């Protein structure tokens, strides 16, 4: 390392340089979780309300859908209005198929010859995304990294160039519901299978990393301790995604971790838009508060920017809880 002459002149007190009044840069990770991911919309609203623009966004599955819309420069309000409209009116066939309280979907599956296809995710996206969403990564206002899973490679793929819609389609290609998407000869499926909350790929990209977790937990149905067979099947991949997120949080934590309380909603509950928005309200408040705190800390000129990544401790409750290995009979 080169030391410039005069820089460390002994005896001379180092002149205090006023830091430029810049705001910290923010990297935003939006996780996967099906319909629960509608809760990403209010989180994006927080950014608009505070006049903050993420420096980079990473998205998995539904997180990629809203990440793509927001990175295209659409306001969160517009995204909300479009999504609500799409889910309530124009979306009828798909909505019925998706929200058909599980069992009918399974029946539908059974009637089909067991080929790969059920829905083409690209076709669905044309329907769901506003027309003003960029066609290509190059047109985006905010750099976006989309997570998909390489089926045969058994690992995550980070998509950041080429056709945006194809990338989003790959990221949300949940097996059994959607056909896999082939990009550059690789067969890609839902990014949630390998990286349900992609904050780790944003490390060192910005001063502050914000992760929005919508992975949720299966909910106890009343008195019956036995969930239905289909519920267990659906929930098992949810449990694994949750386990992966927990494991990742043990290795590294984002600066701000928002665990949206959307456990009560199923992966396919797209018809419960208003309920999910209401359930996400406390998380929205939390993100607002935490981002404001970061911003106020950051404007103090005594704080060198190098210390920023840990200026705000992530709410470690969930992390601490999982470190304890519960044993039967202890309680």
Q: Which residues lie below 8 Å from residue 185, measured CB to CB, with a gap of 6+?
A: none
Tell which one of 225, 300, 302, 306 touches another protein (CB under 8 A). 225
Rounded CA-CA distance 30/64 in Å is 7
Rounded CA-CA distance 260/282 in Å is 8
327 binds another protein (CB under 8 A): yes
Rounded CA-CA distance 127/319 in Å is 38
Q: Which residues lie below 8 Å from residue 297, measured CB to CB, with a gap of 6+?
A: 303, 311, 312
Q: Which stretch binds another protein (CB under 8 A): 7-15, 127-135, 205-213, 218-226?
A: 218-226
Tell which one of 88, 96, 132, 243 touches another protein (CB under 8 A). 243
154 binds another protein (CB under 8 A): yes
Q: Which stretch binds another protein (CB under 8 A): 71-79, 202-210, 276-284, 323-331?
A: 323-331
Minimal distance in Å, beta carbon 247 to another protein? 4
How many residues make contact with another protein (CB under 8 A)?
Answer: 56
Q: Which residues lie below 8 Å from residue 323, measured CB to CB, with a gap of 6+?
A: 250
316 binds another protein (CB under 8 A): no
124 or 140: CB nearest another protein = 124
Tell which one of 22, 88, 132, 236 touches another protein (CB under 8 A). 236
For residue 7, the 8-state DSSP code is T
233 binds another protein (CB under 8 A): yes
DSSP-derived secondary structure for 42-104 = HHHHHHHHHT---SEEEEETHHHHHHHHHHTT--HHHHHHHHHHIIIIITHHHHHHHHSTTHH
219 binds another protein (CB under 8 A): yes
Q: State which of positions 111-140 bind another protein (CB under 8 A).
A: 112, 114-116, 118
251 binds another protein (CB under 8 A): yes
Rounded CA-CA distance 282/215 in Å is 16
317 binds another protein (CB under 8 A): no
For residue 16, the 8-state DSSP code is -
Rounded CA-CA distance 211/60 in Å is 11
What the block records as the tokens of 130 is 């506003």
93 binds another protein (CB under 8 A): no
15 or 326: CB nearest another protein = 326
27-28-33 Cα angle (round to 5)? 155
Task: Give the SS3 label for residue 132.
Answer: coil
Rounded CA-CA distance 137/263 in Å is 32
What the block records as the tokens of 261 is 């309380």
Rounded CA-CA distance 156/150 in Å is 6
Binding mask 165-184 for another protein (x = CB under 8 A): ----------xx--xx----
142 binds another protein (CB under 8 A): no
Minimal distance in Å, beta carbon 137 to another protein? 25
267 binds another protein (CB under 8 A): no
Tell which one of 61, 83, 195, 286 touches another protein (CB under 8 A). 195
320 binds another protein (CB under 8 A): no
Q: Which stretch binds another protein (CB under 8 A): 20-28, 35-43, 246-254, 266-274?
A: 246-254
Tell me which residues touch another protein (CB under 8 A): 109, 112, 114-116, 118, 149, 151-152, 154-156, 175-176, 179-180, 187, 189-190, 193-195, 217-220, 225-233, 235-244, 247-248, 250-251, 321-322, 325-329
């Amino acid at each position: 390392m080169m030391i410039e002459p005069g820089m460390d002149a002994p005896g001379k007190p180092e002149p205090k340089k006023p830091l430029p009044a810049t705001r910290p840069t923010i990297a935003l990770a939006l996780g996967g979780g099906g319909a629960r991911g509608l809760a990403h919309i209010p989180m994006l609203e927080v950014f608009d309300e505070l006049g903050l623009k993420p420096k980079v966004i990473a998205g998995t599955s539904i997180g990629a859908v809203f990440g793509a819309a927001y990175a295209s420069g659409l306001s969160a309000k517009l995204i909300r209005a479009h999504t609500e409209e799409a889910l309530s009116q124009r979306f009828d066939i798909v909505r019925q198929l998706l929200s058909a309280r599980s069992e009918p979907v399974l029946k539908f599956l059974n009637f089909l010859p067991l080929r790969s296809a059920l829905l083409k995710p690209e076709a669905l996206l044309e329907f769901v995304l506003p027309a003003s969403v960029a066609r290509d990564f190059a047109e985006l206002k905010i750099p976006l990294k989309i997570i998909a899973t390489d089926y045969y490679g058994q690992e995550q793929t980070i998509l950041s160039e080429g056709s945006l819609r194809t990338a989003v389609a790959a990221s949300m290609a949940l097996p059994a519901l959607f056909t896999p998407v082939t990009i550059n000869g690789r067969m890609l499926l839902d990014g949630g299978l390998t990286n349900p909350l992609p904050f780790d790929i944003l490390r060192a990209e910005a001063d502050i990393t914000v992760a929005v977790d919508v992975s949720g937990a299966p909910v106890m149905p009343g008195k019956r301790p036995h969930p239905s067979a289909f519920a267990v099947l659906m929930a098992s991949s949810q449990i694994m995604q949750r386990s992966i997120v927990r494991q990742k949080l043990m290795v590294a934590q984002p600066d701000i971790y928002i665990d949206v309380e959307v456990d009560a909603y199923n992966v396919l509950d797209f018809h419960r838009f208003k309920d999910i928005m209401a359930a996400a309200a406390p998380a929205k408040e939390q993100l607002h508060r935490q981002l404001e705190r970061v911003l106020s800390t950051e404007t103090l000129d005594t704080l060198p920017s190098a210390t920023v990544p840990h200026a705000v401790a992530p709410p470690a409750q969930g992390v601490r809880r999982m470190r304890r290995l519960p044993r039967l009979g202890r309680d």
